[in-house]
């Protein structure tokens, strides 16, 4: 089941000198000899000087915490951001049910929403009972803490830093909120998923959602307050405070949304989707109607009018693999039941949904209009394709004795090199859940070995034999890096820790972090390629690129195909 917090996981460790030698390897592709020599001198000065003192202080911090990085990472990577996190940080992706029992079909939105919602509630119930199987990687158990953050969790905007409100509890821990919120045509509703101790069935959820839909379709649209969650964070924090001061009731309604299990978003769009092409639905998932997306909820289910649906999540409290595990569970159960409800059609006399009617004034109405205008302008700049590559997949790659993830990473490097004529600094997510409350480390995929291989592929004078030898070297390097990062021996989080210690001590930013090599190799959130393997299931989603001139590239690898979500 969900692991209790006192489970004995390894603490994240780091080898001081290894971090610097690994860092130097990864900056080489982006520097000439003179620049590299300068960076080498800066690194040497840092590691033999102030770096040692900072490292000692970092070790002190690690003594008093089971995970020295956890709070820092949450703040620096997510909660301190002032940009629109709904646009720039949220993750999302379509359900693959279009590939089997649920192809696009008008008139199925509510029917499918109630079945998917029921299976999602069953997963919540398993979490409450601590019966979700503990995940493993090879022979090691993985930390399951992130699963606690899927339900009853919401980000709260702050003027300088956001916070996370988290209300989920296991049955052993006590009571847990059990209501859902539904967003439809600019309005917000809520209803309880439990009635007299028993979970609502799909026919009962159908009754609730149909009531909401009929109400919204027969009356004028609501104000669309949810659009404010797409604003820049300080602006949204100030408007939220204004709302609460306008009427204390607004505070109660906001808390109702924050505490809810998750959000059901009824979207009037009807995106095209086939098993080979998810482009339109993926684009609308990340950049669709902001009045039916509460961007701060940790988990939302978006149901489009043609029965296609997507997950949409705030990235702050958890990483994509927790979401994919839950999505895989719901899809498996939908498929096993052929997309139908095979239980009783009896509908109990349950309370009708309650509408959450906020008190708004002209200022708020104007701000909602402005938020929508800014949002649509920003998302119109997003170019996205989401296709399935069906020539081959994991089965053939493994038959050739290659690691499927490394195969795709090298393909990304070659594609970038062919397009731009230079190496592309690349962030690949490595999962560090072997450690207590572990999240991620950075695999820097653009190695000298990868670059040499890319050059050989574009050099007509190179022999096939030479290209193969260089490719084997590039594979070996990437495989080794992945293993190091997953085992807590990466260096990006360590370097971040040293920088944050310096900032806490009120010291000037060390020269290492001001050096051009740090930035051009991707440091400080400057990776031109932001990439992640989303596993080996049918699920694939994505997020927007890390930098304006960059690309996001997210992929899942199945036996017979690779699903590729690329955007810029």
pLDDT digits (tens, 9 = 90+) for 346-373: 999 999 999 999 999 999 999 999 999 9
Q: Residue written as tokens 């069935």?
A: 201
Regarding beta strands 91-94 and 309-313, do their DSSP bridges make them parallel or antiparallel, or are they unpaired? Answer: antiparallel
Contact call for residues 526 and 430 (beta carbons, < 8 A): no
Q: Tell me the mean pLDDT in the region 45-50.
A: 97
Which H or E run contains 563? strand 562-567
Task: Given the residues 119, 315, 437, 478, select the one marked as catalytic.
Answer: 315
**pLDDT surpassing 90 at residue 126:** yes
Strands, E assignment, 413-526: 426-431, 440-444
Which H or E run contains 512? helix 511-514
Contact call for residues 297 and 262 (beta carbons, < 8 A): yes
Q: Residue written as tokens 């731009």?
A: 420
CA-atom Rg of the chain in angstroms: 24
* Cα 559 to Cα 539: distance, rounded to the nearest angstrom: 13
Among 3.10.290.10, 3.60.21.10, 3.30.559.70, 3.50.50.60, name the CATH number for the domain at 76-382. Answer: 3.30.559.70
Closest CA relative to residue 560, chosen from 334, 336, 398, 411: 398
Share of the chain above pLDDT 90, in %: 96
* Cα 442 to Cα 23: distance, rounded to the nearest angstrom: 11
Q: Tell me the mean pLDDT in the region 157-177.
A: 98
Question: For 70-79, which contacts have Cβ atoms below 8 Å and span 24 or more sequence positions?
Answer: 70/437, 70/439, 72/496, 72/497, 72/500, 73/439, 73/493, 73/496, 74/164, 74/316, 74/317, 75/161, 76/496, 76/500, 78/162, 78/315, 78/316, 79/155, 79/158, 79/161, 79/162, 79/163, 79/164, 79/316
Give me the pLDDT at residue 11, please.
67
Give me the pLDDT at residue 451, please.
99
Q: Tell me the mean pLDDT in the region 41-56.
A: 97
Q: Three-state SS for 328?
A: helix
**pLDDT surpassing 50 at residue 204:** yes
Range(s) of the chain covered by CATH 3.30.559.10: 16-68+385-567
Give me the pLDDT at residue 138, please.
84
Give me the pLDDT at residue 13, please.
67
Q: Per the confidence metrics, is the pTM higher than 0.85?
A: yes
Look up residue 117 and give its two tokens: 């919602």
Give me the pLDDT at residue 5, please.
44
Give me the pLDDT at residue 283, please.
98
Confidence band, pLDDT 50/70/90 cuts, at residue 17: confident
Give me the pLDDT at residue 2, please.
52
**pLDDT surpassing 60 at residue 282:** yes
Q: Tell me the mean pLDDT in the region 139-162.
A: 97
55 an active-site residue?
Answer: no
Range(s) of the chain covered by CATH 3.30.559.70: 76-382
Question: What is the chain's mean pLDDT, rounded?
Answer: 96
Q: Tell me the mean pLDDT in the region 131-139.
A: 92
**pLDDT surpassing 60 at residue 39:** yes
Give me the pLDDT at residue 9, please.
60
Closest CA relative to residue 297, chosen from 144, 446, 126, 183: 183
Give me the pLDDT at residue 4, please.
45
Greatest CA span in the chain, whole angstroms?
77
Q: What is the DSSP letter of 392?
A: -
Contact call for residues 226 and 312 (beta carbons, < 8 A): no
Give me the pLDDT at residue 16, please.
84
pLDDT of 254-264, one tens digit each? 999 999 999 99
Angle formed at CA 388 by CA 283 and CA 267, multiple of 5 degrees: 30
pLDDT of 213-272, one tens digit each? 999 999 999 999 999 999 999 999 999 999 999 999 999 999 999 999 999 999 999 999
**pLDDT surpassing 80 at residue 148:** yes
Give me the pLDDT at residue 139, please.
85
pLDDT of 83-108, one tens digit each? 999 999 999 999 999 999 999 999 99
Among 3.40.50.2300, 3.40.47.10, 3.60.110.10, 3.30.559.10, name the CATH number for the domain at 16-68+385-567. Answer: 3.30.559.10
pLDDT of 498-538, one tens digit each? 999 999 999 999 999 999 999 999 999 999 999 999 999 99
Angle formed at CA 426 by CA 422 and CA 431, multiple of 5 degrees: 165
């Amino acid at each position: 089941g969900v692991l209790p917090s006192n489970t004995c996981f390894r603490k994240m460790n780091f080898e001081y000198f290894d971090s610097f030698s690994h860092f130097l390897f990864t900056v080489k592709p982006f520097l000439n000899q003179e620049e590299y020599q300068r960076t080498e001198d800066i690194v040497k000065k840092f590691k033999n000087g102030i770096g040692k003192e900072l490292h000692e202080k970092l070790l002190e911090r690690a003594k008093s915490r089971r995970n020295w990085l956890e709070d820092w990472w949450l703040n620096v990577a997510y909660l301190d951001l002032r940009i629109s996190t709904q646009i720039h940080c949220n993750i999302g992706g379509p359900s693959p049910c279009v590939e089997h029992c649920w192809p696009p079909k008008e008139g199925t939105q509510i029917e499918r929403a109630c079945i998917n919602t029921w299976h999602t509630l069953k997963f919540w119930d398993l979490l409450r009972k601590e019966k979700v199987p503990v995940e493993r990687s090879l022979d090691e158990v993985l930390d399951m803490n992130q699963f606690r953050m899927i339900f009853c969790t919401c980000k709260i905007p702050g003027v300088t830093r956001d916070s996370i409100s988290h209300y989920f509890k296991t049955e052993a821990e006590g009571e847990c909120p059990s209501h859902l919120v539904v967003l439809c045509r600019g309005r917000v509703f809520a209803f309880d998923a439990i009635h007299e101790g028993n979970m609502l069935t799909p026919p009962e959820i159908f009754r609730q959602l149909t009531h909401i839909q009929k109400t919204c379709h027969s009356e004028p649209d609501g104000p669309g307050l949810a659009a404010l969650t797409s604003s820049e964070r300080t602006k949204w924090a100030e408007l939220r405070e204004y709302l609460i001061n306008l009427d204390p009731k607004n505070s109660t309604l906001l808390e109702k949304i924050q505490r809810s299990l998750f959000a059901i978003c009824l979207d009037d769009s009807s995106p095209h989707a086939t098993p080979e092409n998810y482009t339109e639905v993926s684009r609308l998932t990340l950049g669709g109607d902001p009045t039916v997306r509460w961007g701060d909820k940790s988990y939302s289910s978006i149901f489009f009018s043609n029965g296609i649906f997507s997950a949409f999540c705030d990235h702050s409290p958890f990483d994509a693999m927790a979401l994919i595990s839950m999505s895989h569970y719901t899809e498996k159960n939908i498929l096993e039941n052929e997309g139908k409800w095979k239980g009783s059609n009896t509908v109990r006399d349950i309370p009708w949904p309650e509408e959450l009617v906020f008190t708004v004034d002209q200022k708020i109405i104007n701000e909602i209009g402005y938020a929508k205008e800014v949002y649509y302008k920003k998302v119109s700049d997003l170019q996205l394709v989401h296709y399935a590559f069906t020539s081959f997949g994991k089965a053939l790659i493994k038959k050739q004795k290659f690691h499927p993830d490394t195969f795709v990473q090298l393909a990304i490097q070659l594609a970038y090199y062919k397009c731009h004529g230079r190496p592309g600094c690349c962030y690949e997510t490595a999962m560090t859940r072997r450690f207590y409350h572990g999240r991620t480390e950075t695999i820097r995929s653009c190695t000298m070995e990868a670059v040499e291989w890319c050059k050989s592929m574009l050099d007509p004078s190179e022999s096939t034999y030479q290209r193969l030898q260089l490719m084997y070297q590039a594979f070996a390097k990437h495989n080794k890096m992945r293993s190091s990062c997953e085992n807590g021996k990466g260096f990006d989080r360590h370097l971040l820790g040293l920088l944050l210690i310096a900032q806490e001590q009120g010291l000037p930013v060390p020269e290492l972090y001001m050096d051009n090599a740090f930035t051009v190799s991707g440091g400080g959130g400057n990776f031109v390629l932001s990439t992640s393997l989303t596993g080996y299931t049918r699920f694939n989603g994505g997020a927007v690129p890390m930098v304006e001139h960059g690309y996001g590239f997210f992929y899942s690898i199945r036996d017979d195909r690779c699903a590729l979500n690329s955007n810029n």
